[in-house]
Structure 1
Amino acid sequence: MNAREPETLIPAAVETLPINFAILDDEGTILYTNRAWQEFGKANDIDIRPDTIGTNYLTITRQAETETAQTAAAGLSEILTGGRELFEFEYPCHSPDNQRWFLMRAASFTDGEQRYVAVAHFDITDRYTYQRRLEESNERLQQFASVASHDLQEPLRMVTSYLQLLESRYSDELDEDAKEFIEFAVDGAERMEAMIDGLLTYSRVETQGKPFDSVNLEAVLDDVLTDLDIRLDETGAKITAEPLPTVSGDASQLRQLFQNLMENALQYSGEQEPRVAISATRDEEEWIVSVSDEGIGIDQEDADRVFKVFQRLHSHEEYEGTGIGLALCKRIVERHGGEIWIDSNPDDGSTFSFTLPAADT
């Protein structure tokens, strides 16, 4: 059996695709519609029917006089006049008994010197419904996080205040054990409040993040080092940084990312003065940024664990912290479409590396 040339299979393949597809000439006249387009027209009793081949799609669209139709007509006009090569938008196509959502895509192409436009309508109802449900779920989660944060923090603040008041007012009557118990209770309440704040920030990475813009990472690092100035002096930390790039991202979140990684490097420096180095290398359309320290390091088997919420490798008595900082870093990097990982060995320092999209892509 002889195989057919691919070119001879294209018409048959287009006919069987479950996508409403048409070809227009450079004036918008309908030259071809596939079976899905024709069947959709019949089933929905719309104006574009098999016998409309030879009529002007742009004229038909404008006659609908709806906002959706006018958007489609405007975009298609730009394609036909050469103002743009590709146009797409989502729109509803509802009937009393059926609610559907479609994605329209129009793109120009040439055959020799003749210019044409391909128009396709994809049924995205399932995807659209899933996205709406996900957005509603995220909104409910955000509302819950905000309410829970407030409702949990208020009693914690009250507990802390009354314990501190008790210690202040009755200090002369309390023995050393009682004072120590109060200190433990206050410390526990304050740590719980910090954990709640951390969880709230973690939950808001997606829902309250700002639109991406060009972000100069050197300026971000300068701001972070200014905030950490006192701690850097106290610890005798030495920070070195290579030239850092401009990336596409949320400046406030990237500042949080750098601050968490810098604080982590200072926290786990061990007995020696902290040494931290920041560098960046270009990898096609993204930058790989690395923050390296000479601290206590971790076992490589725990490399994934450190990025999970509340997954601490050390007790609170050994090292302070909420167990959310690195998990927040991971969530921020993922929102930017990147990855974060750690290369480390015990007593041999750690290098946290992450990818961010370049600003010029």
Structure 2
Amino acid sequence: MSAADAERIAALEQEIQRLHRVNAVLMDRVERSTDLQGDAYSIFQTAVLLEGQVHDRTQALQTAVDELGQAQRTLQDAIALIDEGFALYDADDRLRLCNDRYRAVWDNAPILGMHFEALLRRLVASGGIEDAKADPEAWIAWRLQQHRHPGAPLLIGASGDRWVQISERATGDGGRVSLCTDISAVKRSEADRRQRELAEKSALLHATLEALAQGVAVIAPDGRLSVCNQSFGELAGQDPAQAAARLLGEPALTADGAAKTLDTASAAGRGLEVRLAPMPDGGHVMTLTDITERQTREHQLVQMLDRLSQAYTELERFAYVAAHDLREPLRSIVSYTQLLRRHLPSDGETAGYFEVIVQAGNRMHGLISGLLDYARVPGQSGPFAPCSLQECCDLALDHLQAGIAQAEASLSVAPLPQVQGDAVQIVQLLQHLIGNALKYRHPQRRPLIRISAQSQDGHWIISVADNGIGIDPAAKDIYEIFRKLHSHAAYPGAGVGLAVCRRIVQQHGGRLWHQGNADGGTTFHFALPAVSPPV
């Protein structure tokens, strides 16, 4: 029965009682009156009328009571038919209505009129609430708080491995409506599904571990072997537990996941790489990797590099000796050709032949000299030491003073740092780059050469920029020996300078590259190690 229905019935009852009292007073006055034709008759008529109203109101009240009873029976039938447990508590927190399902969910503990807290204590005392066993009073306080301030559904662990989901809402008169659903079957199904998934994942993990060629072992916090794959024992060459205990005792093996190559790792004579990584529970994961083939390949590679280095050294020596030995016969050819041209009578055609021989000899002499310069780079290098790049640049400019004056070049040199290297070779490097800027100057503008330095990642980046004719972006292999981008007639030379520059920079552990300038010309950059990290 709702509060509105109760108020309606109470009002009808009060009206009926008032009418009964009025009727009684009127009938009493009729009986004592002696005037049968006057007021008595009028009063009687009023009494009869009131009696009819009382009868009508009584009938209305009975109808309302019948309808209310029918509504209550319909509500009870509906509540009884739902699958969830249903309960209604009034504003005093006493149970006013519930269905059989609600009683069954809570082991028939609920009784109409029982206070909610009393129900909780009865359930806890009987062991009906699994969640409350650790701290009954704390659980009761928590449950009362949730009941008085209902919100999201609750999940309660009940006795008999049951799980009950509770949804509560406040009513308009301050009571509470509670719906309880036993979801034990759902929870068990979910647990079974998770168990199957865990079993499948465990089987997959086991199969994966067994398929690995790498040995894997899990070490418990107390140092005992928990689990390992077959490869672990095979690689270790002994019982897995003994191998794990032996390797854990190796002083060189640290639990940081770093790879260690231990000569004693394998009892079977294999080369093994051992890793030991910590686990959250205090244990460790140990892995063994067979590196026998890798060690063999590394040894073969070292031998091959030694042979290549020896062959390279012999080739450099051959190039140097060959170039040195060829220079003297070539000088003789040029000299005797010039003597023949001077002493023998010749017409214009013969003189042209002599000139071709001399020019070809001079070009050959230039190529041989360039080859000697290129071959001498490794052999000329002394021990690297701190050297002033400023002094090296000044010396290179002194060597090029005549060419600078002839080209009327303008130079801008920024403050240059100290670098780690060979001063003689650095002078040669700068002389080649500045010399190229003078040689390949633009015919229609005065040469402008800028030299600067910038720190970057422990190196100094040295830049030599010019406003000359530039380099075709499509040009390739410009740092290869004897590579020329222009004809010998336009720009004489052997095409060795940039090859020598690159070799010097590589000798110092750096690199050489170039880029075109927006206003024409080219900027060459090379990196050299700094004496100390640049600030």
Instruction: Give the TM-score band, short-chain normalised.
Output: 0.5 to 0.7
Find the aligned partners of 2:261 and 2:350 in 1 and give their Cα distance: 68
Find the aligned partners of 2:391 and 2:452 in 1 and give their Cα distance: 14
2:276 maps to 1:276: no
Find the aligned partners of 1:163 and 1:149 in 2 and give their Cα distance: 21
CA change 1:58–1:90 in 2 (3 A) is closer
**1:264-343 alignment, distance < 5 Å:** 264-271=436-443, 272-302=445-475, 304-335=476-507, 336-343=509-516
Aligned residue in 2 for 1:141: 312
CA change 1:300–1:148 in 2 (3 A) is closer
Q: 2:367 aligns with which of 181, 185, 195?
A: 195
Give the letter for the 2:435 counterpart.
Answer: E
Q: Which runs of 5+ in 2 are unaligned?
A: 1-192, 199-207, 218-224, 264-268, 281-287
Find the aligned partners of 1:252 and 1:17 in 2 and give their Cα distance: 57
CA change 1:103–1:53 in 2 (3 A) is closer
Contact residue 288 and residue 356 of structure 1 kept, 8 A: yes
CA change 1:181–1:87 in 2 (3 A) is farther
Contact residue 450 and residue 465 of structure 2 kept, 8 A: yes
Shift of 1:21: 11
Find the aligned partners of 1:125 and 1:185 in 2 and give their Cα distance: 57
SS at match of 1:247: strand
Q: Which runs of 5+ in 1 are unaligned?
A: 5-12, 23-30, 60-72, 80-85, 92-97, 112-118
- Give the stretch that moved more between structures: 231-240 or 13-22: 13-22
Aligned residue in 2 for 1:224: 396
Give the letter for the 2:514 counterpart.
Answer: W
Find the aligned partners of 1:16 and 1:204 in 2 and give their Cα distance: 56
Aligned residue in 1 for 2:357: 185
Find the aligned partners of 2:289 and 2:327 in 1 and give their Cα distance: 58
Give the letter for the 2:478 counterpart.
Answer: V
Find the aligned partners of 1:147 and 1:128 in 2 and give their Cα distance: 28
Find the aligned partners of 1:207 and 1:21 in 2 and give their Cα distance: 51
Find the aligned partners of 1:58 and 1:223 in 2 and give their Cα distance: 62
Aligned residue in 1 for 2:303: 132
Shift of 1:221: 1.2
Find the aligned partners of 2:400 and 2:229 in 1 and give their Cα distance: 64
**1:1-361 alignment, distance < 5 Å:** 42=237, 51=242, 123-151=294-322, 153-168=324-339, 171-175=342-346, 177-202=349-374, 209-210=381-382, 212-271=384-443, 272-302=445-475, 304-335=476-507, 336-344=509-517, 348-361=520-533
Find the aligned partners of 1:165 and 1:90 in 2 and give their Cα distance: 71
Contact residue 149 and residue 197 of structure 1 kept, 8 A: no
Find the aligned partners of 1:18 and 1:357 in 2 and give their Cα distance: 44
For 1:301-324, what per-residue CA distance to the aligned partner results, in whole angstroms no more than 9, with x for missing partners? 22x442233221111111111112
CA change 1:237–1:41 in 2 (3 A) is same
- After TM superposition, the score normalised by the length of structure 2 is 0.46
CA change 1:172–1:334 in 2 (3 A) is closer
Find the aligned partners of 2:439 and 2:369 in 1 and give their Cα distance: 20
Find the aligned partners of 1:310 and 1:212 in 2 and give their Cα distance: 28
CA change 1:172–1:203 in 2 (3 A) is closer
CA change 1:263–1:171 in 2 (3 A) is same
For 1:131-188, what per-residue CA distance to the aligned partner results, in whole angstroms no more than 9, with x for missing partners? 4313312322331342244335534532431431342366143435444433432332
Find the aligned partners of 1:299 and 1:355 in 2 and give their Cα distance: 23
Shift of 1:106: 11
Give the letter for the 1:291 counterpart.
Answer: V
Contact residue 462 and residue 525 of structure 2 kept, 8 A: yes
Find the aligned partners of 1:34 and 1:203 in 2 and give their Cα distance: 57
CA change 1:159–1:274 in 2 (3 A) is same
Higher relative contact order (CA 8 A, sep 6+): 1
Contact residue 342 and residue 350 of structure 1 kept, 8 A: yes
For 1:278-330, what per-residue CA distance to the aligned partner results, in whole angstroms no more than 9, with x for missing partners? 0122233333221111222233222x442233221111111111112113323
SS at match of 2:297: helix
For 1:53-108, what per-residue CA distance to the aligned partner results, in whole angstroms no more than 9, with x for missing partners? 6679999xxxxxxxxxxxxx9xx7xx9xxxxxx999999xxxxxx9x9x899999x
Structure index of larger Rg:
2
Contact residue 320 and residue 375 of structure 2 kept, 8 A: no
Contact residue 149 and residue 196 of structure 1 kept, 8 A: no
Give the letter for the 2:460 counterpart.
Answer: W
Find the aligned partners of 2:371 and 2:241 in 1 and give their Cα distance: 57
Find the aligned partners of 2:426 and 2:235 in 1 and give their Cα distance: 48
Aligned residue in 2 for 1:27: none
RMSD: 5.3
Shift of 1:224: 1.5
Aligned residue in 1 for 2:46: none
SS at match of 2:450: strand
Aligned residue in 1 for 2:78: none
Give the letter for the 2:356 counterpart.
Answer: F
Q: Relative to total residues, which structure has the larger strand share, 1 or 2?
A: 1
For 1:195-254, what per-residue CA distance to the aligned partner results, in whole angstroms no more than 9, with x for missing partners? 234335445656775554444322221221222233333333322111122334444443
Give the letter for the 2:495 counterpart.
Answer: G
Find the aligned partners of 1:39 and 1:183 in 2 and give their Cα distance: 81
Find the aligned partners of 2:272 and 2:383 in 1 and give their Cα distance: 24
Find the aligned partners of 1:89 and 1:190 in 2 and give their Cα distance: 60
Shift of 1:341: 2.0
Find the aligned partners of 2:390 and 2:209 in 1 and give their Cα distance: 51
